Structure 1
Amino acid sequence: MADDLVADFKTAFRTHPAGIALVTAATATGPVGLTASSVASVALDPTSLVFSVTRATGTAGALLGAPSLVVHFLGIQHEELARSFATSGGPRFTADQPWLRLPTGEPYLPDARAALRAIPTHMLPVGSSTLVVAEVVEVRLGPPAPALVWHDLGFHAVGGDAAGPAAPTQPG
């Protein structure tokens, strides 16, 4: 029964579109970042968001230890960047990627649809994942673009001047 539940759970979420974000932070050993499809708003007072990371090691572990982070909402033009940050060992923060640094030190993608700087306030272990609640302390709105979403094992464009879905592609 548990195997059927897990399979059905995966199928249900595979067909539920999720916005794609990059979560970045500055650490003592350098910038870290990962692709997330679990970002959601939580509250307006205080302005808070939530996301989850799958494990507490490597990039995710470094991100969990950072005092602040930036959640970037991506447009369809960021598909390759999202793929790089979703792939273990993928190129990150390279010279050909358009990263800047905020005055507070975090990596910042200026052409993201929006970038939300936040301070983690709660971390809740759930199975092999960690749920992170963070208070948003700054919002930088970027240029409008069709949103990048994950649906049915591929990236797609939603909204804006999107002429329909992008060809479905899968990270890795």
Structure 2
Amino acid sequence: MVSQSEQVDDFRTVFRHHPAGVVLITATVEDQPVGLILSSLSSLAIDPMAVSFSLAKSTGRPGQILKAESCLVHFLGPDEVDIAREFAARDGRHFTDKQGWTTAPTGEPLLAGAPAVLRIRPVGTVPVGPATLVAAEVVEVTASPEMLAGALPRLFYVDRTFYLRPSGTPESSAPDEG
């Protein structure tokens, strides 16, 4: 019989090798900018537009995001890989002038060069052990023409490494449903 500890290790390994799209979420909490990389963003609904994501804990930067009244979700492209690495690292550099940050009219830190940005407003949370599942209404969508046309490489995270997948046609198509 497989122990609970082995099950947990297997669970981590399975998801470590499952490719995930990544975004950078930012907010201003108690007059301080906060941001972190998420690999759990999902569309939740179209009417109203909503997304969901999870935060692994309720302390540190995730805890600050949980306190935010609104956040910006930045979809990252090839020019933002280094920024993604900095925000994914525990001791990374955040919100430096060199990274190109400004402040959105609504007060959140804005990465002006991001291919797409959603402004969201959390509307509900569900605690699951030390993690929290967040549902958020999408208040505004801003996207570059290249992003809307699917002409930008996509940023993925697999086994603690960021990868760029070129834009264009997929390597293979789905099998026929015959």
* TM-score category, normalised to shorter length: 0.7 to 0.9
The superposition leaves residues 14-35 of structure 1 with CA deviations (integer Å, 9 ceiling, x where unpaired) of: 2211011000001223111001
**Which residues of 2 match residues 17-166 of structure 1 at below 5 A?**
17-142=19-144, 143-144=146-147, 145-160=152-167
Counting aligned pairs with the same residue, the percent is 44
Cα separation, 2, equivalents of 1:18 and 1:156: 10
Please state whether the residue corresponding to 1:160 is helix, strand or coil: coil
Q: Return 5+ residue gaps in structure 2 as ranges.
A: 172-178
Larger radius of gyration, structure 1 or 2? 2
User: In the TM superposition, what is the alpha-carbon distance from 1:118 to its structure 2 partner?
Assistant: 0.4
Please state whether the residue corresponding to 2:13 is helix, strand or coil: helix
User: In the TM superposition, what is the alpha-carbon distance from 1:153 to its structure 2 partner?
Assistant: 2.8
Please state whether the residue corresponding to 2:15 is helix, strand or coil: helix
Cα separation, 1, equivalents of 2:16 and 2:92: 23
| Count of residues paired in the alignment | 163
Please state whether the residue corresponding to 1:118 is helix, strand or coil: strand
Cα separation, 2, equivalents of 1:114 and 1:92: 19
Cα separation, 2, equivalents of 1:56 and 1:14: 21
RMSD of the TM alignment (CA)? Answer: 1.8
Please state whether the residue corresponding to 1:96 is helix, strand or coil: helix
Match of 2:15 in 1: 13
Q: Is the 8 A contact 1:121 1:133 kept in 2?
A: yes
Cα separation, 1, equivalents of 2:27 and 2:129: 24
Cα separation, 2, equivalents of 1:29 and 1:102: 14
Tell me which stretches of 4 or more aligned residues in structure 1 moved more than 6 Å: none
Cα separation, 2, equivalents of 1:153 and 1:95: 26
Cα separation, 1, equivalents of 2:63 and 2:165: 31
Q: Return 5+ residue gaps in structure 1 as ranges.
A: 165-172
